[in-house]
């Protein structure tokens, strides 16, 4: 599948836009959604000021540390939103037309940090919703594959500094994704996944998505 069958969007500069038109779901990418100077600012603030933690999980009969650092904002148990996160949130809500209420930050410190093939778990209200993924820092490859239909080619999507990837409501049901390790010498990457968790919201859309 061609990665950049792209449309040029003019909004203070050229943003490379891709609609992957995947079967069973929606997957859209805005490269350079945040221009470089703005993305640099967000990266530096989030890297220095976020209360990063390395969590552990059970794998078979062992407890192992996650190969990345994380921090969670919003929802019932997350940290309070910061001005910078609210600024980023507002920008992605304006282009997607979707209101998010929490965000998970992942810090991939170098090429050894990764995340295995997985689909995100159901949120607290038991229903999958859109997830908006923002990247600041060095480029990593985001791999996507269909869970059951092997005739659908796997995607290898480079998520670059300032990019925005929007995963549809059915993405987690039908697809898995993965950030592999790399032997290349690379710097840190910060990924923000904006999510919806509150079932009491009257609507999730704040306007019609473009």
Residue 127: per-residue pLDDT: 86
Q: Do the domain assignments include residue 82? A: yes
Q: For residue 46, which of 92, 77, 81, 90 has the smallest C-alpha distance? A: 81
Task: Look at residue 10 and tell me if it is in a domain.
Answer: no
Q: CA 132 to CA 103: how far, in whole Å?
A: 9
Among the residue ranges 6-15, 38-47, 79-88, the one predicted with the least confidence is: 6-15
Neighbouring-strand partners of residue 194: 103, 132
Residue 73 lies in a domain: yes
Torsion on CA atoms 192, 31, 210, 194, rounded to nearest 10: 0
Average of pLDDT values for 6-13? 39
Residue 121 makes CB contacts below 8 A (sequence gap 6+) with none
Looking at the domain assignment, is residue 94 inside a domain? Answer: yes
pTM, full prediction = 0.85
If one counts the domains in the chain, the total is 1
How far apart are alpha carbons 187 and 133 in whole angstroms? 19
Least Cα distance to 68 among 112, 131, 132 occurs for 112
CA distance 133 to 111: 19
Does residue 36 carry a pLDDT above 50?
Answer: yes
Give me 157's structure tokens.
């999507």
Domain containing 77 — which CATH number?
2.60.120.590
Rounded CA separation 132/209 (Å): 13
Q: Please write the tens of the pLDDT for every residue from 147-172.
A: 999 999 999 999 999 999 999 999 99
**Structural domain boundaries, residue 125:** 25-195
The answer as to whether 190 is a domain residue is: yes
Q: Is residue 20 part of a domain?
A: no
Residue 39 lies in a domain: yes
Residue 78 lies in a domain: yes
Q: Which residue has the higher pLDDT, 148 or 55?
A: 148
């Amino acid at each position: 599948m061609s990665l950049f069958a792209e449309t040029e969007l003019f909004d203070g500069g050229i943003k490379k836009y891709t609609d992957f038109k995947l079967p069973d779901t929606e997957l859209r990418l805005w490269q350079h959604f945040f221009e470089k100077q703005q993305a640099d600012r967000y990266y530096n603030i989030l890297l220095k000021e976020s209360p990063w933690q390395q969590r552990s999980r059970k794998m078979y009969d062992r407890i192992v540390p996650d190969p990345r650092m994380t921090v969670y904002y919003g929802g019932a148990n997350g940290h309070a939103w910061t001005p910078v996160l609210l600024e980023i949130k507002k920008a992605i809500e304006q282009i997607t037309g979707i209101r998010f209420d929490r965000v998970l930050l992942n810090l991939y410190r170098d090429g050894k940090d990764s995340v295995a093939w997985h689909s995100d778990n159901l949120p607290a209200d038991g229903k999958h919703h859109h997830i908006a993924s923002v990247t600041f820092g060095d480029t990593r490859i985001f791999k996507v594959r269909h869970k059951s239909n092997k005739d659908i080619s796997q995607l290898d999507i480079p998520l670059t500094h300032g990019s925005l990837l929007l995963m549809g409501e059915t993405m987690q049901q039908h697809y898995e994704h993965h950030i592999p390790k790399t032997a290349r010498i690379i710097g840190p990457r910060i990924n923000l996944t904006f999510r919806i968790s509150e079932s009491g919201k009257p609507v999730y859309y704040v306007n019609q998505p473009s």
